[in-house]
Structure 1
Amino acid sequence: MIKKNAIRLASVGIIAGALIGATSLTAQAAPGVPPAPVGSTGAYYLVDSGTGAPVVAGTVLNYSDDVSGSPVVGAVNDFANYFTGPADATGVKVFVTALGTERTPASYSSFAPSAFADPAAKTVLLPAGELDAMINGLPGQAAVKSAGGNYSLGVAFTKDNGVNIASNAVYYTTISIEAGTGLWTPYVTGVVTPPPPASGTFDQNLSATTIAAQDGTLNLVAPASSTTTLGAATLVNQLSTSTGDLGKFTVQDTRVVTAKGWDLTTSVTNFTNTADNTKTIDKKQLGVAAKAAAGTTLPAGVTLAAAQVAGSAVNPAPFASAAAGTAIAATDLDAGLTLVAPANTPAGTYTAKLTVTLASK
C-alpha cells in the first residue's frame, strides 16, 4: 500500500504516474492504454503523499492509494512548488471525468472540493489524488470503480460557485481504471504536446510542349456614336460654357511578342457656326481631359496626359500612352470636354471635328 500522508491539506490534488515505494500490490496486467492528456494547462505529476517519490507512468495502483498532485516531479517536501490559479479563481476541485470533459465541472464523474493554500495568491499545494475520496459527482466514485474505463484525473480552478472553470485553468493526466477492482494506472505525466498533423510530400516530374508565341495587332475602336453633343451652355464667369464626355473608346493591343507600347494624341479643328460659317471659335477654347471610361479602371502601364485647359489648349496634344513592354488587350478610355466661348462670340450652334490618333511606339 502507498503510505498515507500524516498531513493532508484541505485541497485535493491530482497527479498522474505510478508510485515508487513500499507497496503490497502484485504486478498485474494494466488496463487498456488511454490517449495522452492533450490540453492540460500545465505539467501534472503524481507523487507518493508520504514519501514524495514520483509515481512512474505505468504503475498499477489501488483505488484507495494515497497519491498527490504536483507541478514538478517529487515535491511533497518542497513547499515552493504550488499549482497557481488565475486571478478570477474562487475555488478548487479535484476530479475524475470522461476524456474531453475536463473543462465542464457539471460533467465530472466524481470530484471533491479542495482549498487554496493561500487564497490571495490562488495557490494549491499537493492536491489529493485518492480516487475513492472523490465522493461527489455523477455517477460518483463507486460507479466509476464499477464501470472502469479511461478517464482524466486532475485539479481545476473554478469560479461562479464551482460552476465554471476560471480562465481555462485545468491540470490533468489520463488514467485507466479496471472495472470492478478499481485498480488504476496513470500512463502519462507532465504536459503532452499534440503530435503534428499527418502530412506528406512527393516529387512529380512534369513535361509540357510549347509553341512559339504569335504577335497580334494594335487597334483603335471609336465610340458607339460618331457625334458628341455637349450639354446645354451655361454662364461661368459670364462666359458661355458647354461640357460633355466624348464617349468610350478602346485601344486593343495583342502584340504579346513585341509589346512595343503606344501613344494617343488628340487634335481638333476650329468650331464653325452652323448658320454662318464666317463665325468661328478658336480650337484652343476646347479643353480636353483624358480619363478611364466609366465603370473601368486604368490598367497598369497606361498613363494619362495632363489635361488641356479651355482657352489655352494646344493642338495636337498628348492624350495617353502605354509603356513599352506592355501588351494590354483592352484599355477603355474617355475624355471630358469643355468649350468656353469668348465674350464676343455670337450665340448659336457650333461644330468641329476632334481626331484621336493611335501610334505604336
Structure 2
Amino acid sequence: MFKTNAIRVASVGIVVAALMGATTTSAFAADPAQPVNSTAPIFLLDAATGDPIAAGTTLAFNKQVVASPTATNDGTVVYPGVADATDVRTFIAPVGSERTPSAWSAIAPGGFYPGTHDVLLPTMTLDSHTNGNLASVKANGGTYSLGFALTNNNALSIASGAVYYTTITVTPVTGAWTFATPVATGPATPPSGSFDQNLAATTVAAQDGTLNLVSSAKTTNVLNAATLVNNLSTSTGTVGNFTVQDGRVVSHPGWTVTSSVTDFTNGTTTIDKKQLGITPKAGATALPAGVTLAVAQAAGSAVNPALLASSGLTAAIASTDLDADLTFVAPADKPAGTYTAKLTITLASK
C-alpha cells in the first residue's frame, strides 16, 4: 500500500527539458552536513516499506526512496503546498543552487496530492532524475543537494520559496550515496547574554536630620456625649493622628512619646486627672517595625505623665503615625457638667 501511494503521487507532473550538467567535486564525504536553509526537513524512507532509512546507510544509485517531513509517515503527513505553485519538481543540484532551477544537475517531474497543492512522499530515487545530466552526477560523484521544489512559470521559478532538500554525497562511478538525516531539536533557546561593568561612586558623609512632632489637627478636643457605664458617666474620644518624623540617620538614638494631662475642672469643682484613661494605638498608617506602643492607662488609675510609644536604637524611622483612645470616667460624687483639662503630647530624644 505504501509503495503504491508513493509511486502514484510521484508520477503526476510534466517532463521538462534537459538541463546542462553542473560541474561537481569528486571528493567523497562519508557524513554529509545537514542543510539549514531547507524550508522543512527531509527524512528519507524506504519506498517499499515506509520505514525510515538509518543515518549513515549507504544506498545504491537505484534505491527506491521517498521524502517525508517527519521520521515516520503512515502516508498521511504531507509537505504543505503554496497557492501560487503549478508544478512539483524533484532535483539533484550543486550545493547552494537549490533555489535556482536552471542550475540543477538532474530533475524529475513530481506531483501534488490529488485536489491540493500539498506534496505527499515525493520520490527521491537518484536514477529517476533522468532529465538533465544524471550520468555526470553518477560518473563524477561529489556532494549535492537532493530534494524537491514547488514551482511555477513552467517550472522555471520557485513558488513562494518552497524548496525542501537534504545533502547527499555520491561515490564516483558506482553512484552509491549517503545522506544527511535531520536532527530533532527542542525549542530554540531565547537570545541571552551578559556583560560586566566596573562601577565607581564617590560618596559624601551622611548627616543627621531633625526630630519633629507633627501635631494632631484637633486643637480643641470635645469628647463624645457621656453615657452611663456601670452607672458612672463615661465619655470617649481620640487624640487624633499625630506624626513623629526622625531624620537622624547617622546617630539614630531613638525617641519616646509621652502624654500628660491636667486635672479636670468645672468652676470650683475638680476631677483628678487619673480619671482620664489613654490607650496608645497606630495612627493613619501601620506601625513601623522598631516602634513599640506602651501599655494602656486605665481610667481611675492612670499615671501621669505616661509613656505612649518609643522607638529603638537600630535605625532612624522616617515617619511614624500615632494616635490614642481617650476614656474619661467621672466619679459618682461629682456633679454633672462640662469639665475641661489640657492634654500635652511630648516627643523627646533618647
Q: TM-score range by the shorter chain?
A: 0.5 to 0.7
Which position in structure 2 is the counterpart of 1:134?
113
Q: Which residue of 2 aligns with 1:256?
A: 249
Partner of 2:54: 54
Distance in 1 (CA, whole Å) between partners of 2:334 and 2:81 is 96
How far apart, in 1, do the equivalents of 2:212 and 2:3 lie? 98
Question: Is 2:340 aligned against 1:351?
Answer: yes
Q: Name which of 17, 20, 33 aligns with 2:37.
A: 33
User: How far apart, in 2, do the equivalents of 1:225 and 1:68 lie?
Assistant: 85
In 2, Cα distance between equivalents of 1:246 and 1:333: 9
Change (3 A) 1:70 1:255: closer
What is aligned with 1:288?
278
Q: How do residues 229-240 of structure 1 correspond to structure 2 at under 5 angstroms?
A: 229-240=222-233
CA deviations over 1:280-338 (Å, ceiling 9, x no partner): 222222121222223x2222221212222223322222211111122122222221111
Q: Determine if contact 2:279/2:326 at 8 Å carries over to the other structure.
A: yes
Structure 1 residues 45 and 281: CA distance shift in structure 2, 3 A: farther
Per-residue CA distance 1:82-116 (angstroms, 9 max, x = gap): 99xxxxxxxx94222269xxxxxxx9x9xxxxxxx
Cα gap change, 1:69/1:141 in structure 2, threshold over 3 Å: closer, same or farther?
closer
Following superposition, the deviation at residue 212 of structure 1 comes to 0.9
Partner residue, 2:185 = 192
CA distance in 1 between partners of 2:270 and 2:149 (Å): 106
- For residue 300 of structure 1, what is the amino acid of its counterpart? A
Post-superposition shift, 1:207?
1.9
- AA in 1 matched with 2:343: L
Displacement of 1:258 after TM fit? 0.4
Structure 1 match to 2:300: 311
Give the secondary structure class of the aligned counterpart of 1:96: coil
In the other structure, the counterpart of 2:196 is: 203
Out of 320, 329, 332, the residue aligned to residue 340 of structure 1 is 329
- In the TM superposition, what is the alpha-carbon distance from 1:230 to its structure 2 partner? 0.9
The reply on whether 1:271 has 2:264 as its aligned counterpart is yes
> How many Å apart are 1:267 and its aligned residue?
2.1
Matches of 1:70 and 1:50, distance apart in 2: 17
Distance 1:56 1:223 in 2: 88
TM-score in terms of structure 2 length: 0.58
Counterparts of 1:14-93 in structure 2 under 5 Å? 33-34=37-38, 46-50=44-48, 52=51, 53-54=53-54, 65-66=65-66, 93=76
SS of the residue aligned with 1:244? Answer: strand
Where structure 1 has 5 or more consecutive residues not aligned to the other structure, the ranges are 13-25, 38-43, 73-81, 84-91, 100-106, 110-130, 146-174
> Identity, % of aligned pairs?
50
Does structure 1 residue 177 correspond to structure 2 residue 149? yes
> Paired residue for 2:18?
none
> Is the alpha carbon distance of 1:98 and 1:236 closer, same or farther for their aligned partners in structure 2, counting shifts above 3 Å?
farther
Read off the aligned partner of 2:341 and give its amino acid letter. A
Amino acid at match of 1:185: Y
How big is the shift at 1:70?
A: 7.0
- Aligned residue in 2 for 1:326: 315
C-alpha displacement of 1:353: 1.9
How far did residue 262 of structure 1 move? Answer: 0.9
Q: Within 5 Å, give how 1:94-109 maps onto structure 2.
A: 94-97=77-80
Question: Does the Cα contact within 8 Å between 1:250 and 1:330 map onto a contact in 2?
Answer: yes
Contact 1:36 1:188 in 2 (8 A): no
The equivalent residue for 1:77 is: none
- Residue 357 of structure 1 and its aligned partner are, at CA, apart by 2.2
Picking from 217, 221, 224, the partner of 2:210 is 217
Residue 274 of structure 2 aligns to a residue whose secondary structure is helix
- With over 3 angstroms needed to count, the CA separation of the structure-2 counterparts of 1:98 and 1:267, relative to structure 1, is farther
The AA in structure 1 aligned to 2:113 is: M
- The change in CA–CA distance for 1:334 and 1:6 in structure 2 (over 3 A counts) is closer
Q: Call closer, same or farther: CA 1:97–1:253 in 2, change over 3 Å.
A: same
CA 1:35/1:329 → structure 2, altered by over 3 Å: closer, same or farther? farther
- Deviation, 1:242, is 1.1
Question: What CA RMSD, in Å, does the superposition of the two structures yield over aligned residues?
Answer: 4.4
Give the aligned partner of residue 301 of structure 1. 290
Q: Work out the number of aligned pairs and report it.
A: 253
Q: Distance in 2 between matches of 1:299 and 1:239?
A: 37
Query: Structure 2 matches for 1:95-174, cutoff 5 A?
Result: 95-97=78-80, 132=111, 134-137=113-116, 139-141=117-119
Query: Which stretches in structure 2 are left out of the alignment for 5+ residues?
Result: 10-20, 25-33, 86-109, 124-146, 167-179
Letter in 2 for 1:284: K
Aligned 8 A contact 1:293 1:332 in 2: yes
